[in-house]
Amino acid sequence: MKIYIRAAIKNTSDEDDDVRCFVASDPDTRPASLAELAGDYDDDVRTAVADNPNTPPDTLAMLATDPDWRIRERAMLNPNMPLDVLSAAVEEGDRWDMELVAANPSTPAELLQQLYDLAYGTYIEVDILPRLAKNPNTPIDILEKISNSQTANTLCHLAENSNITPEIAEKLAFYPNSMLVRLAAIENPNTSNEILHMLEVNDNSRDVREKARIALQRRGVDV
C-alpha cells in the first residue's frame, strides 16, 4: 500500500486524484513529497497540502501565491507559514490577507499588535478584531481593549480565547446586549464558578441559565 501511495505522488492521471489528495492530507507525508504535490494540477490536492501541518515553510510561501483563493487562504492560516510572508501581507495592507494573518495561531505578538494598531477605529476592525480576539498569541493588554467592543461577534470570539483573564471573562459573562456572548463566556475555563452560579440563578435567558447549570455540573459543582 505504501509503495502504491508513493507511486501515486508522481501519477497525474484523473483516476488517482483521491489517492494524491489522501497523501497530501496525511500529516506523516514527507515534506519533500508535499512540496512536489504543491504543484499538482488538482485544486483539492493543493488545498490539502496547504492544510497539512507537515508542509514546509517554503512550500507554504509558494502556495500563498496560488491562483485559487481557497488555497491561498489555507496556506496563510497554516502555523508553518514563514514570518516574512505574514509580515509582508500586513505591510501590503490587503484587508483579506490581514484578516488571515490575525487568525494564524503562529503570528507573533508584535505583529498582532501592529494589526490592532492598523485596524482599530477603521472600517476594517470589524474583520480584524474578531481574529485578534481569538488568537492565542494576542497580548493580554490588547484583549482587554477588545473586551470594550460593542460588537457581539468580536466578543464571542474573545470569549473563546482561553487566555483571557477572569476579569475579562466576568465582563463577557454579564454582557447585557447579546445572549450569544454570555453563552460563549460560560464555556471559557476562566469564568469562575461564582459567576456561573450567578448566571444559573439570575440570567434573564433560560438558555443561559441552563448552560450555566450544565457547566457547573461538568465542573463537579452541586447545583
How buried is 139 (Cβ within 10 angstroms: 0-12 exposed, 13-18 middle, 19+ buried)? middle
pLDDT of residue 223: 75
| Tens-binned pLDDT, residue by residue, of the chain (223 aa) | 444 455 554 444 445 788 999 999 999 999 999 999 999 999 999 999 999 999 999 999 999 999 999 999 999 999 999 999 999 999 999 999 999 999 999 999 999 999 999 999 999 999 999 999 999 999 999 999 999 999 999 999 999 999 999 999 999 999 999 999 999 999 999 999 999 999 999 999 999 999 999 999 999 998 7
pLDDT of residue 5: 52
pLDDT of residue 3: 47
How would you classify residue 144: left for phi > 0, otherwise alpha for psi between -120 and 50, otherwise beta? alpha
Which residue, 123, 122, 121, 117, is CA-closest to 132? Answer: 117
Could you tell me which residues come within 8 angstroms of residue 92 by beta carbon, excluding any fewer than 6 positions away? none
Q: Where are the domains of the chain?
A: 1-68, 82-139, 147-223
Measured between alpha carbons, how far is 110 from 117 in angstroms, rounded to an integer?
Answer: 11
pLDDT of residue 12: 40
Amino acid present at 74: R
- Model confidence, pTM: 0.88
Measured between alpha carbons, how far is 26 from 28 in angstroms, rounded to an integer?
Answer: 5
Residue 20 and residue 11 in contact, taking contact as beta carbons nearer than 8 Å: yes
Could you tell me which residues come within 8 angstroms of residue 3 by beta carbon, excluding any fewer than 6 positions away? none
Measured between alpha carbons, how far is 56 from 30 in angstroms, rounded to an integer?
Answer: 10
Q: Quick count: other Cβ atoms within 10 Å of Cβ 214?
A: 14
Measured between alpha carbons, how far is 192 from 167 in angstroms, rounded to an integer?
Answer: 10
